[in-house]
Amino acid sequence: MTVTYFDKTLEIKQRIETRKARIGIVGMGYVGLPLALLFSEEHFVITGFDVDSRKVDTLNGGRSYIVRIPGEEIESARKNGFAATADYGRIVEMDVVIICVPTPLNEYHEPDLSYVTGTVKSIAPHLQEGQLIILESTTYPGTTEEVVVPLLEAGNQAGLKVARDAGSAGFYVAFSPEREDPGNDTVARRDIPKVVGGCGPAALSLASTVYASIFNRTISVSSPAAAEMTKLLENIYRCVNIALVNELKQLCLRMDIDIFEVIDAAKTKPFGFQAFYPGPGLGGHCIPIDPFYLSWKAKEFDFHTRFIELAGQVNLAMPYFVVENVIEALSRHGKPLHGARVMVLGMAYKRDIDDLRESPSLTIIELLQKRGAKVAYNDPFFPTVGQGRKYALNMTSTPLERIPDFDCVVIVTDHSQYDFAKIVKKANLVVDTRNATKGIEAANIVRC
């Protein structure tokens, strides 16, 4: 009997619904690993692909390298058949492959798609008929159709092409953005609706079936580009609104108005207002980076994304604003920044997480050091901080007991395990960039 592609999609759907489908997840990072565990909890046999052999070994040893994922969760996934590998040859065993690799910016603030293209080129030689390939990495609209599909088509020896409808031969491709908010436990991961855009209706339908097994709601859009743009709109919305409150905070400080009090009052309006909070600058893998994927792509269309550029300017200036405030606060205490001992509290880019990518703390420490301060840091999530793509700190976390030895403590990340009343009591001077000292009355606090 000849198996038509219509039969093939039904067959894959059945394999998904009966949990027999084999799912490969490429990139065992903050996005890929939790996703692998979600599928595993639903009794799929998952293979995690990663080029980092330490991650592969750790996972296969039943251990975790992400603080909020306990080792027991890896252990129980292992019992459900989860294993990690660096061997792309095993792609042939998969029905579905989901790509969750990094999409950073290069030194010129342009998209660096090398992880995506590297991954796709590694998958292509092993591609099988009827396989579904889904990209989850955040990227500019057009990446799936203009970059992923051509590389997959060019890189497989069997001459397979993307199947745009159920009747045609080939492989299926879709894009579905990750929408996780690290450290936010108020919404269960499966309650976050999953947006999906396919290269044709068959891919869309298959990808929606895959995600419906772990998410309560899937949202279909008409194309991968619409799904790519949806993710960017969400992050640009945050980036622009954070820039707005960061600017208004600076005005409020001059006018002696408490911006946090104002936001708390404004958010009582039951419609038309969503609260965003000012801070020391943007951090993380998404908000400081993703908007620039769109502004880069927009240039191809002779279009300037002015909101993104302006928000970028305001947000990028925030660590400098913090340092100016440290300088002013110290000088009011008769001390120059040069030679002053400064402790930065919090290295993570936000509260209660173990991720320091693009953290404003890194920039603030660098700026303070350049101006001659002797800087230390404390962060319960980072006993040491070595080198990254954009920093070389090589520092060790200083215990909080040492706070009285410092001329100034700068609160950059308001981890919930910090006892701020105690910190204020021990410190000579506190510069608070997060309103962490709200309700504490003391002359040594400078809020900025």
Ligand X SMILES: NC(=O)c1ccc[n+]([C@@H]2O[C@H](COP(=O)([O-])OP(=O)(O)OC[C@H]3O[C@@H](n4cnc5c(N)ncnc54)[C@H](O)[C@@H]3O)[C@@H](O)[C@H]2O)c1
Catalytic residues: 286
Rounded least distance, CB 414 to ligand X, Å: 19
The binding track of 120-139 with respect to ligand X, each residue x by CB under 6 A or -, is: --x--------------xx-
229 binds ligand X (CB under 6 A): no
| Spacing of C-alpha 168 from chain mean position | 36
| Pairing label, strands 392-396, 96-99 | unpaired
In terms of CB distance, is 237 or 260 closer to ligand X?
Answer: 237
In terms of CB distance, is 238 or 285 closer to ligand X?
Answer: 285
Q: How far apart are CA 420 and CA 322, in angstroms?
A: 19
- Which of 21, 25, 29, 174 forms a contact with ligand X (CB under 6 A)? 29
User: By CB under 6 A, which span of 4-12, 117-125, 188-196, 322-330 interacts with ligand X?
Assistant: 117-125
288 binds ligand X (CB under 6 A): no
140 binds ligand X (CB under 6 A): no
285 binds ligand X (CB under 6 A): yes
Residues 6 or more apart whose Cβ sits within 8 Å of residue 185? none
3-state DSSP assignment of residue 26 = strand
The secondary structure of 163-210 as a DSSP string is --STTS-SBEEEE------TT--SS-GGGS-EEEEESSHHHHHHHHHH
- Residue 392 has phi, psi (to 5 degrees) of -145, 80
Query: Whose structure tokens read 């790519």?
Result: 228
In terms of CB distance, is 119 or 359 closer to ligand X?
Answer: 119
In this structure, is the dihedral angle defined by the CA atoms of residues 18, 22, 27 and 33, taken in order, positive or negative?
Answer: positive
Binding footprint of ligand X, residue count (CB under 6 A): 27
Rounded least distance, CB 99 to ligand X, Å: 8
Rounded least distance, CB 249 to ligand X, Å: 25
- Which of 32, 170, 224, 319 forms a contact with ligand X (CB under 6 A)? 32
Binding to ligand X (CB under 6 A) within 55-114 occurs at: 55, 100-103
143 binds ligand X (CB under 6 A): no
In terms of CB distance, is 31 or 152 closer to ligand X?
Answer: 31
| Pairing label, strands 392-396, 384-387 | antiparallel
118 binds ligand X (CB under 6 A): yes
Rounded least distance, CB 76 to ligand X, Å: 21
Measured CA to CA in angstroms, residue 409 lies from 39, 213, 233, 344, 405 at distances of: 44, 48, 36, 6, 10
User: By CB under 6 A, which span of 7-15, 49-57, 75-83, 430-438 interacts with ligand X?
Assistant: 49-57
- Which of 13, 15, 19, 51 forms a contact with ligand X (CB under 6 A)? 51
3-state DSSP assignment of residue 379 = coil
Which H/E stretch holds residue 40? helix 32-41
In terms of CB distance, is 31 or 173 closer to ligand X?
Answer: 31
Measured CA to CA in angstroms, residue 119 lies from 68, 78, 150 at distances of: 26, 24, 13
Take residue 425 and report the two structure tokens written for it.
């009591």
| Spacing of C-alpha 376 from chain mean position | 26
In terms of CB distance, is 41 or 52 closer to ligand X?
Answer: 52
31 binds ligand X (CB under 6 A): yes
Rounded least distance, CB 91 to ligand X, Å: 11
- Which of 16, 23, 28, 132 forms a contact with ligand X (CB under 6 A)? 28
279 binds ligand X (CB under 6 A): no
CA angle, residues 318, 324, 325, in degrees to nearest 5: 90
Rounded least distance, CB 103 to ligand X, Å: 4
Rounded least distance, CB 295 to ligand X, Å: 16
Binding to ligand X (CB under 6 A) within 146-205 occurs at: 178, 180, 182
Measured CA to CA in angstroms, residue 438 lies from 234, 241, 249, 412 at distances of: 29, 22, 15, 14
The secondary structure of 215-274 as a DSSP string is -S-EEEESSHHHHHHHHHHHHHHHHHHHHHHHHHHHHHHHHT--HHHHHHHHTTSSSS--
Of 182, 185, 179, give the one whose Cα is nearest residue 355.
Answer: 182
- Which of 74, 286, 362, 427 forms a contact with ligand X (CB under 6 A)? 286
50 binds ligand X (CB under 6 A): yes
Q: What residue number has its CB nearest to ligand X?
A: 29
Q: What are the residues binding ligand X (CB under 6 A)?
A: 26-32, 49-52, 55, 100-103, 115, 118-119, 122, 137-138, 178, 180, 182, 285-286
